[in-house]
Structure 1
Amino acid sequence: MNDAASNASHEQRGIGAFLRRCRHAVTRRKLAMVSAVFGAFSLCATAAIVFTVSRMPPPDLAAAEKLSTVVLDRNGQLLRAFTTSDGRWRLPVEVADVDQRYLAMLMAFEDKRFYSHGGVDVRSVARASWQLITHGRIVSGASTLTMQVVRLLEGRYERSGNAKLRQVVGALRLEHKLTKTEVLALYLRLAPFGGNIEGVRAASLAYFGKEPQRLSIGQAALLVALPQSPEWRRPDRNPKAARIARNRVLQRAVEEGVINQAEADRAILEPVPTHRRAFPQLAPHIAESEVRADPIAAEHRLTIDRNIQRALETLAREQTALLGQKLSAAILAIDHTSGEIVAHVGSAGYLDGTRAGAIDMVTAVRSPGSTLKPFIYGLAFEAGLAHPETLIEDRPVRFGSYAPKNFDEDFHGTVTIRHALSQSLNIPAVKVLAAVGPGKLAGRFRKVGAETVFPDATQPTLAMALGGVGLTLRDVATLYTGLARGGDVIQLTHRRADAEAAAKALLHGKQRKHETLLSPVATWYVSDILKDAPPPLNARAGRFAYKTGTSYGYRDAWAVGYDGKYTIAVWVGRPDAASTPGLTGRLAAAPILFDAFARIGEKRVPLAGAPAGALRVSGSELPPPLKRFREGGAETVQGPFLEPRVVISYPPDRSEVETESEDALLLKASGGVLPLTWLVNGAPIESDPRTREVIWQPDGDGFVRLSVVDAKGRVDRVTVRLKSPEMAAVFLPDHGE
């Protein structure tokens, strides 16, 4: 019985095993048949689709053409970018602009047969379909990069059979029209990376602060991972999800042999960015000006050098922070051998509202102070009226009702013109301008393109010698390029196309049009004096020629210099033209000028040597007509020469002084004999008889008449306006350097 039962049990188990093998065999055959049928169907369907779509129009590429407007420097580097009309950061980018490791990881993770399929990867479709049948759910996708590009061009993100069919058809049609490189470039330009960031270049700048040409392995992996779920994986909002996705890409890259495990381990340790960076905003004033001038152009190429621009913007920001609140600065750097502007710093900080940073002070009309004195003497040298060693009197003088004064309120007696210009004495400069004529000076400026602006549309006067005229920083820089170039002024340009056209014309023997500012001999005399001008503290003299200037009322501080290659002009002041006590070109602008030359490069190109006809002699060897300057139209002021009259040195006459509530005002005088008596609107105020200064508390805004009387009864009076902060612009002669 037991043996029979045992045999029956073995027999049943054998039959069961046989039946199971039969069922498995049948199942395998069915599945094989299904797979074969499905594969044949897929091939037939693909062939049918290829035939059908060959007659259909390709996807609309209009979305890919809506790019951010970009402003580039002379080497094609990004200075400034602007969002598209719909507020997207979508920067132009080509395949060659992207790190090759990023591209390799992108292919390994998204579409490893990208270069072998025709837009639709049939093998991936078959695999995805088989997995769907066997698992009852989607295990892997079959979307190619080309299909993703079609979806991005459509701008629709629904997941449906119709949407997938449109992508298949569009991908086949797109690859029929474009090359693989062009299709890949579309993906690099359109892929979403969270928020309003589209394209790998915009993403690299936003998350890493750099162009995508050189990415670390971790950075490249993160950029591969983000487009799959851009909002959920945004590193600035969900760094944990971004890190997990990045690490998954790194592991796939190891599996596909793109990187090794050691590289992946190091990349995993890289931090994920947790905030978005600001897009480059270099040369913002001139960039916006170019976009306004040609809003249709997608790309603007400038002559600006990105590295120099960044260095000088940093310099302006740092130095004005040390000088005081509400002050701004502007710097213009020019390669005067070609006329190309290599740096245009319009303010101390474009986004700094406390310094009115949005105002471009390079193009603002201001009083140039004493920066025009070199051209006055240059005209005298050119006309044969003077030589650097000619003697001239620095004594009290009056031209009708106009009595110029020196910045130090002193007189220096008989000096050479070389000394008068290097020390920026005012009285000799006015005397020389009276001889050459202010109209001639203004006419020479207009001839070379520097437009002068006079108060109330008046005619040029002797006040031009001390800044009684309006000019922009660009105008002043243009004039100084004439000194740097031996007398010829070249037209300045900030557009790369203009510079390239000029260079091309020069190769074909066509010279650029130059305007003559001064003769070569006169220009060399001026430069020979300016190169020995006293430098700021802790600065080296003689490396380049330069001149400073201070406008009336301490509103504008200037410094302009040049060597054999570069001309740099610096302005410091308040954009609202308010007075800043103690603001002078030598103390505020000259240090910036010297630092600017150092940041451009330590090596200086020497100035040109003496031209033919230049007299390099001492004063005693000069021809008799040049030994002493012949003055005309001047009336010598009588009085003791060694005892200057009392003068109110601050605030200046006709100035506007900004006052805050409860702030006292410092009144200063120079000259005269102590004790001094101060009066405000005719009423005396308390003062220390031992000093020439007094602290006075104003009681409100409005016009105030200040008077000071010395021990000998000599009086000086000024009228000033006390006001709350507001914009103003006045072009008056300075007392200054």
Structure 2
Amino acid sequence: MRKLSGIIIILLLSFFILFLILDKCFPLPIKTFRTTQTVLAEDGQPLWRFADENGIWRYPVTLEEVPAFYIQALLTYEDRWFYHHYGVNPLSIARAIFQYVKNQRIISGGSTLTMQVARIIDPHQKTFLGKWHQIFRTLQLEWHYSKDDILTFYLNHAPYGGTLEGIGSASWAYLGKSPSHLTYADAALLAVLPQAPSRLRPDRYPQRAQIARNKVLDRLKRYKVWPEKIIDDVQREQVWTFPRKTPQLAPLLAHRLHLQYPNTPIIQSTIDISLQSTLEDMAINMEGRLPPKGSMAILVVDHTNMKVKAYVGSIDFNNNQRFGQVDMIQAWRSPGSTLKPFLYGLTMDSGMIHSESLLQDIPRLTADYRPANFDTGFNGPVSVSEALTRSLNIPAVQLLELYGSKRFTAKLHQAGLTLKSSGKTPNLSYILGGASARLDQLVAAYSVFARQGQASRLRFTPDEPLLNKPMLSEGAAWIIRRILAGDKPMISSNISNIVPLAYKTGTSYGYRDAWAIGINARYLIGIWVGRPDGTPVAGQYGYASAVPILQQVHHILLNREYNKQRLLPSHPKPDSVTVQTICWPTGEAIAKDDANCHRQRMAWILNGIIPQTLNTGIESQHDQYQFAKMTIWINQKGYRVAPDCPNAQKKQVAIWPIGLENWLMPNERRKALIPQMDSDCPMVNENRVNSLVISGLFDQQTLRPLPDKDQVRLTLSSLGGSGQRWWFLDGQLIKLTLERESFELALRQKGQHSLLLMDEIGQIERISFTLQ
């Protein structure tokens, strides 16, 4: 016996050493299993999944994430002695060999749960040699891993039919629920499916699946694992034909997070799955309203915490004709006029303007840049609030010229909004869409108007920190938001702390991009409409194309808030904002009966500062044309005189910017405001403005061609004014001339016409005439 015992010990030791050598030479190939990835909604439901190279989807779980009764059902049916053997059950192997010898074919493999994991890791042929290969891998598993590790691997890699592996993916695909929410009936069904996953698929063969499930229940009853009453109740349940469900929401967001977190198996997002589904359906239903190959993007963000709640990067991910797989939320596109609110806020913080400051919507002509309004017309004197709400281009360019293009671009960049252009040097065109921006950065920057002047970064996952960057003062942000919401300052009434929907539209040059960025009481809403390939779409602009979608999304969000019975966030007026009555043209707070108060307006004032009316860049270059309270001396007759004349009285006269002359009432023009000079005691060496006059055509003149001619030829020139002149016929630039330089104009089209002349300092002369 001692000799036999010694031989056995030597053999066992030899086998152990041989095992260690083989284990070193042939390690377990577990690392070859690439983890698949699943992107979850905020409530844990899968939005999208990324399969491995074989198309397999796995949703990893831990032992703690599945019910204990599922583990009971699995081990009872598959391997009752799992926690008691070393990977190989000798009794099961003996039974399998006996059945093979008796029947001359394999009846049962005698496989333990560990052996099944070994077969998943390293598949083998169903031969005796293959069996020894499986046993070797089984012993390796038991040597290197704990029982819980092996069981966890089985939970995540057991086959469940088709491209599903693991209880996690099976639970979501077949049952539409998390593994942690399985019922007893679910547990019994999922415990048996790996036995024959293709043959027992409940979505295809519910009767087969029910028969197999009941076998599990019978075994549980035999060994008294579950209470008998629960087993009886489960047996009476039918296995319904579950529609197999593949996560197919927010695909472009999922791809974005996949690139950002490539090695994270489960990515928890901030997406509201119900809202995401609603907006994706809405987008698909709008395909018929868009032109061919048109697309759209919708981004919804809760500005109280900057969590992204919905992300629709294209109109339909599966529509290749509309470039559905191009994420327009991350695409660089011309933002049109959507940058204007930032400029007005920054200039307000700089003390340059208040909400009703006088701006000039007049033709602007320089050697390098000639902007025009969307409707190609001009409005003359406009307020800051009117210019912003009507998205007028010329006043915005006026402000940017004074504030500085580089300074403006740097402020946006510091707040997380980057602008790109081919020239790479910021210029005046940036404020009208002359540089490219991204919808996600644009929406994030608009948080400045809802978050007390702080621009905050978007949060796509709950773990991402809330990062804030100061951009505007709290007061300036509040005023701009109220202007965009259409609110007016009133002293007599209190304004509601719940701000209505505020939004800004944008249209890029050539109708390529239509934008609408909105801020309601809780959410930021970003809308883009256009063609991803940049092809112009005639008639597509922000107010007509993007605003209806914005308003529809806004109403969906408000209804959800009411259904949740959740109070809307308030945004009360900061102490730094007051309401003040101001007067044009000075922009100052003066009495209504003051002779220099030509037009009175109610304004929101920041920090009690009431800035005077700004000059344009052209006016700043010519001192004699700057806006000012002009100091004059008048005599008893009311004529202007020199200061040292007898009985001369000093008087201040507020004059309007000279470029507005053509849009003012007769009693507001300089001719009416500045008295005529008294020839008996005139001022010496006074800088006088030479009025601009059109020569060669009279106002309201009617023209007719000669009997044998089909056109009228005119010789036009100008008198007065300063510098270069620009001639416009019916809004179109037709000629550039110098002082007293003449040119010929041939007219053929009959009807009413308008001829406008503008000089270098902004003086304008306009006449109308008729060609019969």
Q: Which of the five TM-score ranges fits, normalised by the shorter chain? A: 0.5 to 0.7
SS at match of 2:82: coil
Alignment correspondent of 1:572? 529
SS at match of 2:444: helix
CA distance 1:135–1:347, shift in 2 (3 Å): closer
How far apart, in 2, do the equivalents of 1:331 and 1:220 lie? 40
> Is the 8 Å Cα contact of residues 499 and 570 (structure 2) preserved in structure 1?
no
How far apart, in 1, do the equivalents of 2:267 and 2:450 lie? 26
Correspondence 1:84 to 2:38: no
Alignment correspondent of 1:7? none
How far apart, in 2, do the equivalents of 1:637 and 1:381 lie? 23
Q: How does 1:8-407 map to 2 (within 5 A)?
A: 52=15, 56-57=19-20, 60=28, 62=30, 65-72=33-40, 78-122=46-90, 124=92, 142-156=110-124, 158-168=125-135, 170-171=137-138, 174-215=141-182, 219-234=186-201, 241-242=208-209, 244-257=211-224, 258=226, 260=230, 262-267=232-237, 269-273=238-242, 276-278=244-246, 280-292=247-259, 295=262, 297-299=263-265, 301=267, 303-307=269-273, 310-311=276-277, 313-314=279-280, 317-318=283-284, 320-321=286-287, 323-325=289-291, 326-336=293-303, 341-394=308-361, 396-400=362-366, 404-407=371-374
Q: Deviations over 1:576-628 (max 9, x none)?
A: 22333443333433344345454485146535434443332233594466465
Correspondence 1:556 to 2:550: no
Match of residue 425, structure 1, among 392, 411, 414: 392
Match of residue 517, structure 1, among 459, 467, 471: 471
How far apart, in 1, do the equivalents of 2:512 and 2:567 lie? 31
> Is the 8 Å Cα contact of residues 332 and 341 (structure 1) preserved in structure 2?
yes
TM-aligned CA deviation for residue 377 of structure 1: 1.5
> Is the 8 Å Cα contact of residues 347 and 360 (structure 1) preserved in structure 2?
yes
AA in 1 matched with 2:453: G
TM-aligned CA deviation for residue 434 of structure 1: 3.8
> Is the 8 Å Cα contact of residues 77 and 306 (structure 1) preserved in structure 2?
no
Match of residue 483, structure 2, among 504, 529, 550: 529
How far apart, in 1, do the equivalents of 2:62 and 2:428 lie? 60
Q: Deviations over 1:127-170 (max 9, x none)?
A: 667777888987766322122112222212x3333444444454
How far apart, in 2, do the equivalents of 1:488 and 1:479 lie? 9
> Is the 8 Å Cα contact of residues 276 and 312 (structure 2) preserved in structure 1?
no
CA distance 1:97–1:323, shift in 2 (3 Å): farther
How far apart, in 1, do the equivalents of 2:116 and 2:425 lie? 69
Alignment correspondent of 2:443? 477
AA in 2 matched with 1:524: W
Query: TM-score, normalised to structure 1's length?
Result: 0.67
TM-aligned CA deviation for residue 60 of structure 1: 1.4
SS at match of 2:180: coil
> Is the 8 Å Cα contact of residues 60 and 265 (structure 2) preserved in structure 1?
no
TM-aligned CA deviation for residue 249 of structure 1: 3.7
Match of residue 503, structure 2, among 534, 537, 546: 546
How far apart, in 1, do the equivalents of 2:284 and 2:469 lie? 37
Aligned-pair identity in percent equals 34
TM-aligned CA deviation for residue 328 of structure 1: 1.8
Match of residue 609, structure 1, among 567, 572, 579: 572
CA distance 1:347–1:715, shift in 2 (3 Å): farther
> Is the 8 Å Cα contact of residues 270 and 459 (structure 2) preserved in structure 1?
no
> Is the 8 Å Cα contact of residues 207 and 277 (structure 1) preserved in structure 2?
yes
How far apart, in 2, do the equivalents of 1:144 and 1:360 lie? 48
TM-aligned CA deviation for residue 464 of structure 1: 3.4
TM-aligned CA deviation for residue 387 of structure 1: 0.9
How far apart, in 1, do the equivalents of 2:29 and 2:118 lie? 9
SS at match of 1:92: coil
How far apart, in 1, do the equivalents of 2:295 and 2:755 lie? 36
TM-aligned CA deviation for residue 276 of structure 1: 4.6
AA in 2 matched with 1:56: F
How far apart, in 2, do the equivalents of 1:377 and 1:116 lie? 75
SS at match of 1:615: strand
How far apart, in 2, do the equivalents of 1:50 and 1:714 lie? 109
SS at match of 1:223: helix
How far apart, in 1, do the equivalents of 2:476 and 2:345 lie? 5
TM-aligned CA deviation for residue 187 of structure 1: 1.1
Alignment correspondent of 1:680? none
> Is the 8 Å Cα contact of residues 498 and 521 (structure 2) preserved in structure 1?
no
Q: Deviations over 1:32-83 (max 9, x none)?
A: xxxxxxxxxxxx9999989956973577151575321344566766443322
Match of residue 457, structure 1, among 395, 408, 423: 423
SS at match of 1:329: strand
Larger helix proportion of the pair: 1
TM-aligned CA deviation for residue 388 of structure 1: 0.8
> Is the 8 Å Cα contact of residues 210 and 239 (structure 2) preserved in structure 1?
no
Correspondence 1:445 to 2:412: yes
SS at match of 1:377: helix
SS at match of 1:590: helix
Work out which structure has the larger RCO, using CA pairs closer than 8 Å and 6 or more positions apart in sequence. Answer: 1
| 5+ long unaligned stretches in structure 2 | 1-6, 489-496, 591-609, 620-657, 666-746, 757-772
Query: TM-score, normalised to structure 2's length?
Result: 0.65
CA distance 1:64–1:146, shift in 2 (3 Å): farther
Alignment correspondent of 1:674? none
How far apart, in 2, do the equivalents of 1:349 and 1:256 lie? 53
TM-aligned CA deviation for residue 359 of structure 1: 0.9
SS at match of 1:619: strand
Q: Deviations over 1:193-239 (max 9, x none)?
A: 23443222233344444433334555444433332223444456666
Correspondence 1:711 to 2:745: no
AA in 2 matched with 1:711: G
CA distance 1:714–1:458, shift in 2 (3 Å): farther
How far apart, in 1, do the equivalents of 2:165 and 2:10 lie? 34
How far apart, in 1, do the equivalents of 2:61 and 2:326 lie? 32
**RMSD over equivalenced CA pairs, Å:** 4.3
CA distance 1:232–1:340, shift in 2 (3 Å): closer
Alignment correspondent of 2:581? 618
How far apart, in 2, do the equivalents of 1:300 and 1:709 lie? 70
SS at match of 1:633: helix
CA distance 1:311–1:69, shift in 2 (3 Å): closer
> Is the 8 Å Cα contact of residues 392 and 428 (structure 1) preserved in structure 2?
yes
Q: Deviations over 1:485-512 (max 9, x none)?
A: 3333344454666x2xx57xxxxxxxx6
Q: Deviations over 1:371-408 (max 9, x none)?
A: 112122223312222211334455x4233376655445
TM-aligned CA deviation for residue 184 of structure 1: 1.2
Q: How does 1:402-413 map to 2 (within 5 A)?
A: 404-408=371-375
TM-aligned CA deviation for residue 361 of structure 1: 0.8
How far apart, in 2, do the equivalents of 1:182 and 1:710 lie? 90
TM-aligned CA deviation for residue 349 of structure 1: 2.3
| 5+ long unaligned stretches in structure 1 | 1-43, 504-511, 535-539, 643-706, 717-737
Alignment correspondent of 2:593? none
How far apart, in 2, do the equivalents of 1:84 and 1:363 lie? 26
> Is the 8 Å Cα contact of residues 121 and 144 (structure 1) preserved in structure 2?
yes
CA distance 1:379–1:211, shift in 2 (3 Å): same
